[in-house]
Amino acid sequence: DAGVIQSPRHEVTEMGQEVTLRCKPISGHDYLFWYRQTMMRGLELLIYFNNNVPIDDSGMPEDRFSAKMPNASFSTLKIQPSEPRDSAVYFCASSLVYQPQHFGDGTRLSIL
Amino acid sequence: ELKVEQNPLFLSMQEGKNYTIYCNYSTTSDRLYWYRQDPGKSLESLFVLLSNGAVKQEGRLMASLDTKARLSTLHITAAVHDLSATYFCAVDSPGGNEKLTFGTGTRLTIIP
């Protein structure tokens, strides 16, 4: 089975640009999570969806961040405008209820 | 607010030795997970612990859960180099929703 697929793997862009990160969850999983990992703050949950509906977005740092899940096989995390402090590794994960979350390989984002 | 603490943060140990990583959490939870992350890689699920006294073992790793003390341990027996990684515990939120709070991680280095 294919795991969680994220794209791009690496993104380098200049401050102020729009950044879009993409995620394809494991087929059949009804939960999808977006995390951010930094040395300073560790692994933080940004938002999660159940059956394509956002359930908890309390971890989204500010209005510059938005996430969508238009269907069961695709989600995006958008940052507009991007800032250097947004530099991090962003992980997408998916799961079934009460089961371990399966993580993608992550997107390493650098904002110059 | 649920808090999850791990110690130690860093652990350097010789091959063949035994050691334990500790995970404390602040509120009652239904599930506790252990994950492994290799440098620059994704997170991989190791164990799920559901009830007081639960013990799971896989190779040289054994995880246990004491819900009364809100403590989980990850014990490493006769460490080998390929166990070098960062280990995270994660706890679900009270009420059993799918939101996980991760610990700070323990970076384990096994020295030949």
Inter-chain residue contact A55 with B97, CB threshold 8 Å: yes
pLDDT for B93 equals 84
Contact residues for A44 (Cβ-Cβ < 8 A; gap 6+):
A35, A36, A37, A38, A59
Report the greatest alpha carbon distance in chain A. 40
Per-residue pLDDT tens digits for A26-72: 999 999 999 999 999 999 999 999 999 999 999 998 899 999 999 99
Tell the burial category of A76 from Cβ atoms under 10 Å away from its Cβ (0-12, 13-18, 19+). Answer: middle
Per-residue pLDDT tens digits for A65-95: 999 999 999 999 999 999 999 999 999 999 9
At position A83, the amino acid (one-letter code) is E
What would the mean pLDDT of A2-14 be, rounded to a whole number? Answer: 96
pLDDT for B94 equals 76
B105 in contact with A at a CB cutoff of 8 Å?
A: yes
Inter-chain residue contact A43 with B88, CB threshold 8 Å: yes
In the predicted model, is pLDDT for residue B96 greater than 70? no
Nearest CA in chain A to B41: A105
Q: In whole angstroms, what is the distance from residue B95 CA to residue B2 CA?
A: 12
Per-residue pLDDT tens digits for B14-58: 999 999 999 999 988 889 999 999 999 999 999 999 988 899 999
Q: What are phi and psi of B67, to 5 degrees?
A: -70, -25
> What Cα–Cα distance (Å) separates residue A13 from each residue in A46, A79, A94, A112?
21, 12, 27, 6
pLDDT for A1 equals 65
In the predicted model, is pLDDT for residue B71 greater than 70? yes
Q: Which chain A residues have a beta carbon less than 8 Å from that of B99?
A: 45, 48, 55-56
Which has more pLDDT, A37 or B2?
A: A37
